[in-house]
Amino acid sequence: MSNGGAETYSLNLASKLSQLNNEVNVYANFREDISFEIIKNLKVDYVKTILFSKNPGNPFSLELIQKLMSQNYDIIHVHQLLTSFNIASSVIGRLRNIPIVLTDHGGGWKFFAAFPQICAKFPNAFSAVSNFSLQWLLHFAPGKQNCVTYAGVDTEVFNPNYDVQKLKQDLDLHGFGTVLSVCRILPGKGLEVLIKAFSRLNKDNKLLIVGPIHDLEYFNYLKDLANRMCPGRICFTGAVKASDLPYYYNLCDVYVQPSVYVDLYGRYHRFSELLGIAKFEAMSCGKPVIVSKTGGLPEKISVGINGFVFDPGNDRQLAFYLDNLLSDDSLRIKMGAENSKMVRRDLTWDKVALQTIKLYRSL
């Protein structure tokens, strides 16, 4: 496992379920770079795996099968539809009469993508991370019991109460309006759209792009584009520690997630964004957000109330919304306050866990 959206969701849910006095066993394929607090009632087993392809998101584990066959569980909750973990866990659950809940996060193996209806057949219920995700799942398995359970946010970590003056000084952001985007550097994230939109703004603003480089060719293209269109005004930080992310959210004025369905190379990304957890983290820190109309990104955004939604790839439209927010302090403050309130009302991990338990008990 790596600490992406799927892992953030599944591990936080498991931790919260265990805190609510449920015994939880997490099975994960081993990665040395993952660490999290082991708490009472939560056990994590790293099972041995083999890969059928070069895609690390599709491990197969005989050890997982052996453990699921030998242990007694009330519920098996599978994360990721198009994986052998899902197929193995679901088949064993059916054989042993253990209810299966599936949450998909958009990853998996292209081989399984050829017959998603088979992958969606075995689970008893879907707990989807967005309405967009749920509609896709129900397309292949209509009538399945279901609910939408958005990702939660740890509001004790992601909140507006951070001193960011030193970081602003280190990044030379004092006196500038700051736009932020947090994501893996991949073509489907549409960062070139954000750079083009940003180039239309006045020079009193800077753009900060935070996240690990997953596509070097694309990253080099973005750097060249930034140097040509906005010299000296765009900073790529690379990957940062998870504990530092709240500081980056807090130093920005506007958060943007500009993902696309069709990237600049002409490739189609059906699941560019099933949800977008970073968007919720920025909201929790009291920031207005602007997102593209892709996947589940627009969900939980009321246009003009707590953010804006633009057509994917439309840099002119994005620039218009950016200019509106960067030039209106009162609007930014009002939208940010609305977001912070909404997250604490609707999107805590406690609420996610309670919704999930309700689904478990209905099976």
Q: pLDDT digits over 146-161, tens only?
A: 999 999 999 999 999 9
Strands 205-210 and 125-128, how do they pair?
Answer: unpaired
Name the range with the highest mean pLDDT among 52-61, 210-219, 272-281: 210-219
First vs last C-alpha separation in the chain = 28
Q: What percent of the chain has pLDDT over 70?
A: 94
The token pair at 268 is 């189609």
**Residue 54 confidence (pLDDT):** 58
> What does the domain layout of the chain look like in residue ranges?
5-152+348-362, 165-345
CA atoms within 13 A on the CB side of 193: 29
Kindly report the number of other CB atoms within 10 A of residue 236's CB atom. 16
**Residue 177 confidence (pLDDT):** 97
Reply yes or no on whether the pLDDT at 36 is more than 60: no
Q: Which amino acid, one-letter code, is at 307? A: G
Q: Regarding predicted confidence, which is higher, 190 or 84?
A: 190
The token pair at 94 is 């059916």
* Contact between residue 127 and residue 149 where contact means Cβ atoms under 8 Å apart: yes
Task: Supply angle C-alpha 98, 102, 106, rounded to 5.
Answer: 155
Reply yes or no on whether the pLDDT at 110 is more than 80: no
Reply yes or no on whether the pLDDT at 33 is more than 70: no
> pLDDT (tens digit, 9 = 90+) per residue, 40-75?
788 888 888 776 655 555 677 888 899 999 999 999
Average confidence score pLDDT of the chain = 92
DSSP string, 221-241: HHHHHHHHHSTTSEEEEE---
The token pair at 263 is 């990237």
DSSP string, 96-156: HT--EEEE--S-B-HHHHT-HHHHHHS-SEEEESSHHHHHHHHHHSTT-EEEE----B-TT
Lowest mean pLDDT: which of 65-79, 100-114, 145-159, 178-192?
Answer: 100-114
Q: Which residues does 188 contact at the CB level (< 8 Å), separation at least 6?
A: 259, 260, 263, 267, 269, 272
Considering the segment(s) 5-152+348-362 as one domain, its CATH architecture is 3-Layer(aba) Sandwich (3.40)
* β-bridge mates for residue 148, sequence order: 128
329-346 vs 277-284: helix crossing angle, rounded to 10 = 110
CATH topology of domain 165-345: Rossmann fold (3.40.50)
User: 32 pLDDT band (50/70/90 cuts)?
Assistant: very low
Domains 5-152+348-362 and 165-345 share a fold: yes
The token pair at 351 is 């609420």
Reply yes or no on whether the pLDDT at 126 is more than 90: yes
Kindly report the number of other CB atoms within 10 A of residue 361's CB atom. 9
